[in-house]
Structure formats: C-alpha cells, structure tokens
Amino acid sequence: MGRFCLLLLVLFVTQLPRSVVAHWNDRETVDEQQPVLRLIDSTDALCQEYGISGASARRVLGFLAIPPMCPENGWDFLRGSATPQTRGDDEVRRLLAP
C-alpha cells in the first residue's frame, strides 16, 4: 500500500508542472481567438440580416486564420441565412464590408 501511495505522489508531482503550463497556454489561446470569433459571429449576424448564404459570404471573404488553428479557414464557421436571397458577389462584398 505504501509503494502505491508513493507512486501516486511521484506521478502527481511530475505531471503538475505540465498541467500548469498547459493551463497558461490555453488562456493565451483564448485571448487570441476571441476577436476573430467575434468577427465571425458579427459577420454571420449580417448574413442573416441581409439574407446572404454562408457559401456566398465565404466566396467573397477569402481566408481568415483562427489562431493557433492556422490551417482552418475561420469563415467555414459561417452559417449564413436560413432563407438566402440571390445576390451577386459585389453586392455581398458591399453588404459585409466593415
């Protein structure tokens, strides 16, 4: 029983620093991601307001990196309007411009 408790103590002590560092890194990641996620959310609200489909929005908006998930396009998270209207790319670009 004593050896088991000693083993648990050793495992806990060796993994604690790793856990603390991972927690700090997660906090920095959240701080970096929040502005980008808010931009996606506000753009999605505009799509719903103006009747723009997610595909149309993604086509004109290009690539948006979400730190640290660089290979993923942030605009892939746009849902767009449930009842999209037919709009040209120039009009979509104008409506979604900041």
72 Rama class: left (phi>0) / alpha (psi -120 to 50) / beta: beta
Buried b (16+ CB within 10 A) or exposed e, 58-89: bebbeebebeeeeeebbbebbebbeebeebee
Q: Which two tokens stand for residue 54?
A: 């997610």
43 in Cβ contact with 96 (< 8 Å): yes
Reading the chain (98 residues) residue by residue, the pLDDT tens digits are: 888 888 888 887 888 777 666 666 556 667 788 899 999 999 999 999 999 999 999 999 999 998 876 688 999 999 999 999 999 999 999 999 87
pTM reported for the whole predicted model = 0.69
